[in-house]
């Protein structure tokens, strides 16, 4: 050990200029890293904050600390290369070639790790911005549930590749590690197939946004309710009787959904009013229009309308249509309109038609007041 240190001291004395250049290069690399950090902060303060999106702010904020270390690690590797070319004992076949090679591999490992940290920080910033923006639009719980899992998965992949490169630098084969990781991933995917299906279904809902928290939706089986939560694996719907309907996200992503809140919250009230054949149709239409136009929550645009649509067997069918500002008011306004229509029909002498059947019995001539005999079962 003493002889090794003595030889290193001799190399330092004989090649002090190369060592001085090495130290200067390390200092320059550190200063360049600090300068790059200051430049990025200046860009963030002067340029990035003026943009409409927050993505660039997140990228600068996340990448600034890692950029300094990446530049320093790269400068260290360049300085070692310069030092090795200037000192013969550090070159191939020299007395300290093996030790210098290890030092160079360590410097390259620092570069790989610094770049991995930078890439992970930038990808994490992108995912953070992307998922927060979409989760904010849907008012879901994705920012709390999905974001940590996705960021950890991305970090695991980035650092796995970085570790593989570092091990290769030191001559350690990673083929067995990659094969083991592949088998473990396949086993994990097979065991959690149902969960992954729900997570991917939830991700499809997040991206496509067919409904949001607070929307009033109807499923294909006729169930209607308000979306109260879009979770990582399930969507929760509050039905009108107060019960909670929990649906797996894979089913929600693959089913037809009627969303009453899209494309706008305005909703139409449409129904058929049946009046008797003796009714003055023009008068009935005027009464119905007056009722709808007089209601304060019925919109003027689109304008209410009344149409005679069907000559039914027992009635004349008048189809009415009007719009309200929000689908949440439709049931209440429908009730109020129906009450006003009943009152207006009574005041104007208009009769609502109900299913009825008249039976006419014809008696033989000359037998008034005689009971009518029904035919026997055999027709005689």
Segment 224-247 shows an average pLDDT of 88
Tell me which of 145 and 267 has the higher pLDDT.
267
Domain boundary among 199, 227, 259: 259
Edge-to-edge order in the sheet of strand 267-275: 267-275, 316-324, 305-311
Q: d(Cα 59, Cα 314) in Å, to the nearest integer?
A: 72
Does residue 144 fall inside a structural domain? yes
Does residue 106 fall inside a structural domain? yes
Segment 193-205 shows an average pLDDT of 78
Verify that 128 and 243 share a domain, yes or no. Answer: no
- Look at residue 143 in the predicted model and tell me its pLDDT: 57
Verify that 171 and 106 share a domain, yes or no. Answer: yes
Verify that 85 and 125 share a domain, yes or no. Answer: yes
Segment 222-236 shows an average pLDDT of 86
Give the per-residue SS3 of the chain.
CHHHHHHHHHHHHHCHHHHHHHHHHHHHHHHHHHHHHHHHHHHHHHCHHHCCCCHHHHHHHHHHHHHHHHHHHHHHHHHHHHHHHHCHHHCCCCCCHHHHHHHHHHHHHHHHHHHHHHHHHHHHHHHHHHHHHHHHHHCCCHHHHHHHHHHHHHHHHHHHHHHHHHHHHCCCCCHHHHHHHHHHHHHHHHHCHHHHHHHHHHHHHHHHCCCCCCCEEECCCCCEEEEEEECCCEEEEEECCCCEEEEEHHHHHCCCCEECCCCCCCEEEEEEEEECCCCCHHHHHHHHHHHHHHCCCECCCCCCEEEEEEECCCCEEEEEEEEECCHHHHHHHHHHHHHHHHHHHHHCCCCECCCCCCCCCCCCCCCCCCCCCCCCCCCC
Is the confidence at residue 379, as pLDDT, over 70? Answer: no
- Look at residue 322 in the predicted model and tell me its pLDDT: 95
Verify that 115 and 218 share a domain, yes or no. Answer: no
Does residue 356 fall inside a structural domain? no
- Look at residue 373 in the predicted model and tell me its pLDDT: 59
Verify that 160 and 87 share a domain, yes or no. Answer: yes
Verify that 218 and 339 share a domain, yes or no. Answer: no
Confidence of residue 304 (pLDDT cuts 50, 70, 90): very high
Does residue 273 fall inside a structural domain? yes
114-165 pLDDT, tens digit each? 888 888 888 887 777 766 665 555 555 555 556 666 777 788 888 888 888 8
Is the confidence at residue 285, as pLDDT, over 80? Answer: yes
The domain of 41 spans 11-191
Verify that 137 and 227 share a domain, yes or no. Answer: no
Is the confidence at residue 262, as pLDDT, over 70? Answer: yes
Confidence of residue 253 (pLDDT cuts 50, 70, 90): confident
Does residue 62 fall inside a structural domain? yes
Segment 300-323 shows an average pLDDT of 93
Is the confidence at residue 275, as pLDDT, over 90? Answer: yes
Domain boundary among 259, 286, 318: 259
Confidence of residue 323 (pLDDT cuts 50, 70, 90): very high
Which CATH number is 244's domain given?
2.30.30.60
2-48 pLDDT, tens digit each? 555 555 566 565 566 676 777 887 788 778 777 777 776 676 666 55
What distances in angstroms separate CA 147 from CA 60, 152, 193, one per listed residue? 20, 9, 20
44-78 pLDDT, tens digit each? 666 555 556 666 666 777 777 777 777 878 887 77
Confidence of residue 276 (pLDDT cuts 50, 70, 90): very high
Say how many domains are in the chain: 3
pTM of the model: 0.50
Residue 345, sorted as left (phi over 0), alpha (psi -120 to 50) or beta, turns out to be alpha
Does residue 332 fall inside a structural domain? yes
Mean pLDDT of the chain: 78
Verify that 151 and 252 share a domain, yes or no. Answer: no
Percentage of the residues of the chain whose pLDDT score is greater than 70: 69
Verify that 50 and 32 share a domain, yes or no. Answer: yes
Which CATH number is 330's domain given?
3.30.70.100
Verify that 164 and 310 share a domain, yes or no. Answer: no
Verify that 36 and 59 share a domain, yes or no. Answer: yes
Is the confidence at residue 244, as pLDDT, over 70? Answer: yes
Verify that 94 and 176 share a domain, yes or no. Answer: yes
- Look at residue 320 in the predicted model and tell me its pLDDT: 95
Q: In the chain, how long is the greatest CA-to-CA distance? A: 149
Does residue 134 fall inside a structural domain? yes
Does residue 378 fall inside a structural domain? no
């Amino acid at each position: 050990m003493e002889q090794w240190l003595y030889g290193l001291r001799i190399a330092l004395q004989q090649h002090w200029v190369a060592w001085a250049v090495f130290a200067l290069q390390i200092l320059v690399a550190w200063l360049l890293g600090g300068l790059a950090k200051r430049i990025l902060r200046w860009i963030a303060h002067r340029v990035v904050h003026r943009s409409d999106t927050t993505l660039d702010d997140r990228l600068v904020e996340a990448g600034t600390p890692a950029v300094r270390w990446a530049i320093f690690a790269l400068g260290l590797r360049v300085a070692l290369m310069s030092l090795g070319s200037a000192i013969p004992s550090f070159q191939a076949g020299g007395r300290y070639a093996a030790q210098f090679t290890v030092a160079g591999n360590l410097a390259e490992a620092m570069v790989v790790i610094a770049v991995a940290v930078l890439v992970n920080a930038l990808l994490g910033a992108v995912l953070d911005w992307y998922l927060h923006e979409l989760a904010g639009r849907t008012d879901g719980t994705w920012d709390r549930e999905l974001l940590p899992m996705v960021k950890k998965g991305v970090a695991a992949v980035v650092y796995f590749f970085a570790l593989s490169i570092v091990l290769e630098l030191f001559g350690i084969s990673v083929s067995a590690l990659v094969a083991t990781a592949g088998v473990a991933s396949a086993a994990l995917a097979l065991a959690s197939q149902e969960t992954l299906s729900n997570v991917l279904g939830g991700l499809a809902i997040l991206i496509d946004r067919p409904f949001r928290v607070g929307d009033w939706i109807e499923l294909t089986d006729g169930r209607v309710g308000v979306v109260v939560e879009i979770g990582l694996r399930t969507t929760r719907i509050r039905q009108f009787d107060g019960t909670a309907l929990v649906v797996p996200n894979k089913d929600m992503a693959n089913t037809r959904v009627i969303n009453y809140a899209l494309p706008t919250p305005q909703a139409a009230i449409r129904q058929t009013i049946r009046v008797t054949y003796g009714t003055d149709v023009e008068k009935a239409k005027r009464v119905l229009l007056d009722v709808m136009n007089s209601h304060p929550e019925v919109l003027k645009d689109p304008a209410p309308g009344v149409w005679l649509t069907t000559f039914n067997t027992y009635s004349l069918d008048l189809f009415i249509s009007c719009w309200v500002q929000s689908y949440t008011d439709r049931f209440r306004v429908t009730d109020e309109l129906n009450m006003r229509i009943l009152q207006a029909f009574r005041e104007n002498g208009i009769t609502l038609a109900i299913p009825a059947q008249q039976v006419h019995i014809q008696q033989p001539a000359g037998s008034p007041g005689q009971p009518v005999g029904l035919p026997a079962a055999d027709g005689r």
